[in-house]
Amino acid sequence: MLGAIGLDEGQESAYRALVALGAAEVPDLAHRLALSVPQTERALRHLERHGLAARSPARPGRWVAAPPHTALEALLTRQRDELERAERAATLLALEYRAEAAEPAAHDLVEVVTGASAVARRFQQLRLGARKEVCALLSGPEEGDGDRTPARGVEHRVVVEREVLTLPTGVRAASSALARGARIRVSPAVPTKLLITDGSLAMVPLTPPGAEPAALVVHASGLLESLRGLFEAVWRESLPLRLGATGHPEEGDGGPDTTDLEILSLLLAGMTDASVAKHLELGLRTVQRRVKGLMELTGVTTRLQLGWHAYERGWVAR
């Protein structure tokens, strides 16, 4: 717990033991900590440098703990001061960077990232650093690991390739993202993977699938504007995806329930009845029976007409 102020596990244990005892000699403390005498002496010297322990002037070889409130508060104050100085330095560096980037040279407009871990790390840096909007074209799982929850106030617009929904966790991941406020559309195919953050940075792959991963990070330029235009064109031509939060039917007032809306959205995204049944963990006949029920509800005879009525009635987003 005290690692944040520069103590490792052994040093923290030594301080806690010394506080509990009030004062102790090195051999006794070493025995209590199950450490060797040299290890205990090193830990005590480290505590002494941090003002957490002191040698007893009355009894040589005896160590006394400094009062935790006073000693720890001093360390915390010092660390807060250091963090504030670091924050001011970061702000100045950011201002210098923006000043330099105001009129960037041509070679500063793009950066090449190579290696799977470096690409995944840069992808997450861009995505998590967004302040207003994240736009993405996805033809496979997202890069990297970690928390994918959109930051509060950051709009997410994502176009996924239809095949992504057929992956084992495709529908579940899309449903989770929708529940967190992302807007998702589906396209039969996307021209390339693409990430754009705040309209000022973009990331596109340089190498084909199967090759050593490499990506291009594009800064404000004509190339970035072209990539933004590409995303907007694909977004306009894609179909909105709408999924329920739980995947379980809900009682309705004669209209479609949550499961009906999920089925409709996946069918309009181009999935087959069998694929829809698999991903929603329903029987094939259940899916077909629900589709038939929706057609009877809307008074239509074809699924094409059903799709049109679904949009007209607001069952699926435009």
Per-residue pLDDT reduced to its tens digit, 216-272: 999 888 889 999 999 999 988 887 777 654 433 333 345 677 788 888 888 888 888
Residue environment code for 195-234, b if the CB has 16+ CB neighbours within 10 A, otherwise e: bbbeeebbbbbeeeeeeebebebbeeeeebeebbebbeeb
Average pLDDT score over residue span 94-99: 73
pLDDT at 103: 57
Per-residue pLDDT reduced to its tens digit, 46-85: 888 888 888 887 787 888 888 887 777 777 788 788 888 8
Work out the percent of the chain whose per-residue pLDDT is above 70.
Answer: 85
Facing residues of 134 across strands? 156, 197
pLDDT at 230: 94
pLDDT at 249: 31
Ordered DSSP codes for 30-64: HHHHT--HHHHHHHHHHHHHTTSEEE-SSSTTEEE
pLDDT at 253: 43
Per-residue pLDDT reduced to its tens digit, 109-163: 888 999 989 999 999 989 888 889 999 998 876 654 444 455 567 899 999 988 8
Q: How far is CA 260 from the centre of its chain?
A: 30
User: In terms of pLDDT, which residue wins out, 302 or 251?
Assistant: 302
Confidence of residue 280 (pLDDT cuts 50, 70, 90): confident
202 pLDDT above the threshold of 90: yes
pLDDT at 52: 85
Ordered DSSP codes for 70-85: HHHHHHHHHHHHHHHH
pLDDT at 35: 87
Q: Whose CA is closest to 214, among 314, 122, 79?
A: 122
187 pLDDT above the threshold of 90: no
Average pLDDT score over residue span 161-179: 81
Domain architecture of the chain: domains with CATH:
1-103 (1.10.10.10), 107-240 (3.30.870.10), 258-312 (1.10.10.10)
Work out the percent of the chain whose per-residue pLDDT is above 90.
Answer: 14
User: In terms of pLDDT, which residue wins out, 60 or 289?
Assistant: 289
Confidence of residue 8 (pLDDT cuts 50, 70, 90): confident
Residue spans of alpha helices (H) in the chain = 9-21, 26-33, 37-49, 68-101, 116-128, 170-179, 222-237, 258-268, 273-279, 284-298, 303-312
